[in-house]
């Protein structure tokens, strides 16, 4: 999944450009969508889609149907930004929330108008708000099912809300949601349990994503090498579809404890593990052959290579890397849906020769 924000600024609905983008990439074994806001309070990224309203569902259904028509499989990524949001995205409250009143430091945010602004200090969530947010995840999963998605991935990574509760650097609470590893895990556990109990998707259609090594969003904690192993061990009880781990260091390393690898997760989690970050064909194949991971995920390569599996399978060359602005910025079709599939000239010439022979 990569956050390609291409909904209209005036609304939060997936649009026809996104339909084309996902349809072009339907040959992947599993598509995990861009991060998708589960609530007003969980939103905070310009032009990013939501899964809250009938109109959101209708927009996503067009995408799901297009992927299914190509025999693809697609999961929706459920997202709450927590302290990485900005109050201007939340007209109902004009505030942002997190585990504790600790703001993001060292970088800037954006407001709803696209202006660069300083990160605000979040308000610690009340227990009632935590319980209500659990239900927001449940409602989002219900709507994902209504839109036809094959499953959901809970976004517990990149310094967003659940990650803010998991990590000791952002969670200094003294109630049942802070302090011990068990308490910091509680919110994530309640989200997973509630989605399963609701029944919109069974456990084996629910995945979760973590970034134990990541520095994005001013994250990183001295006990991450213990905390995330504990979390994976606890999640093993549910029979989830997968744990998706960004264990590569190419997206930034906090350097506050040893770096975790997918093997740390495989020792305590019996289900499938997806490895992610800076993958190449050679690295991915080596990790799978060695038993280091079960699956690998590709994000940035998929932007400029909509036919990435075919290129890998046939040893065709990859397209040049997409410009950086295509990773995050809404720039229209250019750099988003205009990347061509590879044309095997030798195969095309061979088919042309066969066709001429048939005519003779």
Q: What residues act catalytically? A: 160
H/E segment holding residue 264: helix 262-266
Q: For the range 272-275, what are the long-range contacts, defined as Cβ-Cβ under 8 Å and sequence gap of 24 or more? A: 272/241, 272/242, 272/243, 273/242, 273/243, 273/244, 273/245, 274/207, 274/242, 274/243, 274/244, 274/245, 275/245, 275/247, 275/248
Judging by DSSP bridges, how do beta strands 295-296 and 273-276 pair with one another? parallel
CA 332 from chain centre, in angstroms, equals 21
* DSSP state letters, 294-321: SEE--SHHHHH-TTHHHHHHHTPPPPPP
Which 3 state secondary structure label does DSSP give 94? coil
Which 3 state secondary structure label does DSSP give 147? helix
Which 3 state secondary structure label does DSSP give 192? helix
To 10 degrees, the CA torsion angle through 304, 323, 156, 265? 60
**Cα separations in angstroms, 330 against 7, 20, 108, 158:** 8, 15, 19, 21
**Cα separations in angstroms, 142 against 73, 122, 139, 206:** 18, 28, 5, 12
The single residue listed with the structure tokens 């556990």 is: 189
């Amino acid at each position: 999944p990569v956050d390609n924000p291409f909904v209209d600024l005036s609304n939060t609905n997936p649009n026809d450009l996104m339909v084309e983008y996902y349809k072009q990439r339907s040959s992947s074994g599993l598509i995990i969508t861009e991060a998708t806001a589960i609530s007003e309070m969980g939103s905070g990224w310009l032009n990013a889609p939501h899964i809250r309203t009938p109109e959101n569902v209708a927009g996503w259904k067009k995408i799901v149907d297009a992927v299914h028509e190509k025999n693809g499989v697609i999961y929706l990524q459920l997202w709450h930004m927590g302290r990485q949001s900005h109050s201007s995205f939340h007209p109902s409250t004009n505030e942002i929330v997190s585990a504790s009143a600790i703001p993001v430091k060292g970088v800037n945010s954006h407001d709803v108008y696209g202006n660069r602004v300083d990160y605000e200090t979040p308000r610690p969530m009340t227990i009632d708000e935590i319980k209500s947010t659990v239900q927001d995840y449940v409602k989002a999963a219900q709507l994902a099912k209504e839109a036809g998605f094959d499953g959901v991935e809970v976004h517990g990574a990149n310094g967003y809300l659940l990650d803010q509760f998991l990590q000791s650097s952002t969670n200094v609470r003294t109630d049942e949601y802070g302090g011990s590893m068990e308490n910091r895990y509680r919110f994530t556990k309640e989200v997973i349990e509630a989605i399963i109990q609701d029944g919109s998707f069974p456990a084996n259609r629910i995945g979760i994503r973590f970034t134990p090594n990541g520095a994005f969003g001013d994250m990183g904690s001295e006990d991450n090498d213990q905390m995330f192993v504990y979390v994976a061990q606890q999640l093993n009880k549910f029979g989830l579809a997968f744990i998706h781990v960004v264990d590569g260091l190419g997206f930034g390393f906090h350097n506050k404890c040893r770096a975790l690898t997918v093997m740390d997760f495989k020792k305590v989690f019996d289900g499938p593990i997806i490895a992610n970050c800076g993958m190449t064909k050679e690295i991915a194949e080596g990790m799978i052959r060695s038993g280091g991971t079960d699956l690998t995920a590709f994000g940035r390569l998929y932007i400029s290579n909509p036919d990435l599996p075919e290129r890998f399978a046939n040893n065709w060359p990859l397209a040049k890397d997409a410009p950086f602005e295509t990773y995050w910025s809404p720039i229209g079709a250019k750099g988003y849906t205009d990347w061509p599939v590879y044309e095997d000239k030798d195969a095309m010439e061979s088919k042309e020769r066969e066709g001429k022979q048939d005519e003779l």
